[in-house]
Amino acid sequence: MSEPRRDALYNGLTSFQPTLPSSAYWNAEEYQRDLDAIWYRGWVMVCRAADLAQPLDYRVVTVGTQEVLVLRDDRGDIRAFHNTCRHRGSQLCRESEGRLKARLLTCPYHAWSYSLRGDLVRVPSKSLPPGFDRADYPLYSVGVSVWRGFVFVNLAPSPQGSAASAFDEASADLGNWPLEDLATGHVYSKVMNCNWKIFWENFNECLHCPGVHKHLSELVPIYGRGLMARHDDPDWALHADNDEPRFSGGLRTGAQTWSRDGQPLAIRFPGLTDAEQAAGQTYAMNLPSMFIVGHVDYVRTVRLLPLGPERTQLVAEWLFPAETLAGRPDLDNIVSFGKAVLDEDAAICEINQKGLRARPHLAGVLMPEEYDLHRFHRWVRAAHAGYIERGR
């Protein structure tokens, strides 16, 4: 068998590729198209199943302009509905989270009541109009898919696939991390003044790492070279046998996890392979709403919601084995490191956003290292094209 051609393993772009048009990041109509073609059709992670631990627990999340009520019903199943009454469209739940006081959802306006499965069970009018059948007026249901402890919703009329099938093809499977059993140790939320796509573009390249992430670039030496992996370097073959982290990826010598000093907590995930431990960080991405990173001692998730053409909500969570949290460890070594990286990314995303309205800047151009960003653009373009082809 002949050896594979070494240049065939090179990851970088080998053709000229423009970015999306600048207006895709601020124009209101294009934002609406993102909502219609992507956010209202795909699986969107909204919380952990553990956030709805008990029957009657609920959360209200807003995806674009759509308020979604996610709850655990009296049988223990997680369900989602538009947070809207079928009578004259009032909002149903007014708080963003809590526990329902009864096994019925009662509209605050004229008290139509619904079961937690969404059936209309009570209409308090003295009489009903001819032809009115309560069975015709259930809550508007929203698709739910629970993947390994993460709750996703889907606003499409007939949701396709599942949260599992929506992971990016380059994602690691994270099967050796016990995701469904992890507990939340810390939550960090912030609003970024940028379009949601700017966040993902930044996530998909490390050209910015040497300039933007000083400490991360020390922890992950290959990032300090502006690269994400060995084969991002056109000259990778010259260093093919060099196992130093600056060429092979992984953490600097002596470091084991993403923390200020590189040291992990006492309890580490027992099921990881040597390669998963050596990798330092293992990513899975589910567009448009979330990514997960597995480390040797904890897992971090980041989820997004679009708030407007130039505003995006970010929620990061640090997840740990319950035994870890039971020992009440000081999480600051870990959390402050991750927060600093997120803050650096958010700040540079906002700076990127600010430049995009220059009238002559119709589009930018990608460098070879931005191959994953190009893949993201292809995904966005395909979603828009599919939306137009289907006649919306």
- As a whole number of angstroms, the distance between CA 55 and CA 99 comes to 8
CB of 85 to ligand FES, least distance (A): 3
**Closer of 90 and 176 to ligand FES (Cβ):** 90
**Of residues 114, 98, 108, 349, the one with CA closest to residue 213:** 349
**Closer of 44 and 198 to Fe ion (Cβ):** 198
CB of 138 to ligand FES, least distance (A): 13
Q: Which of residues 74-93 bind ligand FES (CB under 6 A)?
A: 85, 87-88, 90
**Closer of 56 and 111 to ligand FES (Cβ):** 111
Q: x/- string (CB under 5 A) for Fe ion, residues 287-326?
A: ----------------------------------------
Instruction: Select from 10, 39, 40, 112 the one that contacts ligand FES (CB under 6 A).
Output: 112
- As a whole number of angstroms, the distance between CA 217 and CA 222 comes to 7
- As a whole number of angstroms, the distance between CA 222 and CA 180 comes to 31
Of these partners, Fe ion, ligand FES, none, which one is at the site of residue 345 (CB under 5 to 8 Å by kind)?
Answer: Fe ion
Instruction: Select from 345, 369, 370, 372 the one that contacts Fe ion (CB under 5 A).
Output: 345
Of these partners, ligand FES, Fe ion, none, which one is at the site of residue 90 (CB under 5 to 8 Å by kind)?
Answer: ligand FES
Relative to beta strand 57-63, strand 120-122 is unpaired
Q: Which residue has the tokens 């600097």?
A: 252
- As a whole number of angstroms, the distance between CA 91 and CA 26 comes to 29
- The answer to whether 162 touches 297, Cβ cutoff 8 Å, is no
Of these partners, Fe ion, ligand FES, none, which one is at the site of residue 107 (CB under 5 to 8 Å by kind)?
Answer: ligand FES
Q: Which residue has the tokens 């538009």?
A: 82
9 CB neighbour count, 10 Å cutoff: 12
Q: x/- string (CB under 6 A) for ligand FES, residues 117-156?
A: ----------------------------------------
Q: Which residue has the tokens 């919306």?
A: 392
Residue 270 structure tokens: 């027992």
- The answer to whether 55 touches 75, Cβ cutoff 8 Å, is yes
Q: x/- string (CB under 6 A) for ligand FES, residues 92-111?
A: ---------------x-xxx
CB of 130 to ligand FES, least distance (A): 19
CB of 198 to ligand FES, least distance (A): 38
222 CB neighbour count, 10 Å cutoff: 24
CB of 44 to Fe ion, least distance (A): 23
CB of 106 to ligand FES, least distance (A): 8
**Closer of 163 and 346 to Fe ion (Cβ):** 346
Residue 143 structure tokens: 């698709």
311: β partners:
308
Residues 6+ apart with CB under 8 A from 334: 257, 258, 259, 260, 265, 297, 298, 318
Of these partners, ligand FES, Fe ion, none, which one is at the site of residue 112 (CB under 5 to 8 Å by kind)?
Answer: ligand FES
Which window, 25-33, 67-75, 232-240, 340-348, contacts Fe ion (CB under 5 A)? Answer: 340-348
**Closer of 151 and 198 to Fe ion (Cβ):** 198
CB of 96 to ligand FES, least distance (A): 19
Q: x/- string (CB under 6 A) for ligand FES, residues 31-70?
A: ----------------------------------------
> How many chain residues interact with Fe ion (CB under 5 A)?
1
| Range 198-210 burial, b when 16+ CB lie within 10 A, else e | bbbbbbbbbbbbe
Q: x/- string (CB under 6 A) for ligand FES, residues 9-28?
A: --------------------
**Closer of 297 and 345 to Fe ion (Cβ):** 345
Classify residue 183 by burial, with Cβ atoms within 10 Å: 0-12, 13-18, 19+: middle
Q: What is the 3-state secondary structure (H, E, C) of 42-105?
A: CCEEEEEHHHHCCCCEEEEEEECCEEEEEEECCCCCEEEEECECCCCCCECCCCCEEECCCCEE
CB of 172 to Fe ion, least distance (A): 19
Which residues of the shown chain bind Fe ion in the complex (CB under 5 A)? 345
Which residues of the shown chain bind ligand FES in the complex (CB under 6 A)? 85, 87-88, 90, 107, 109-112
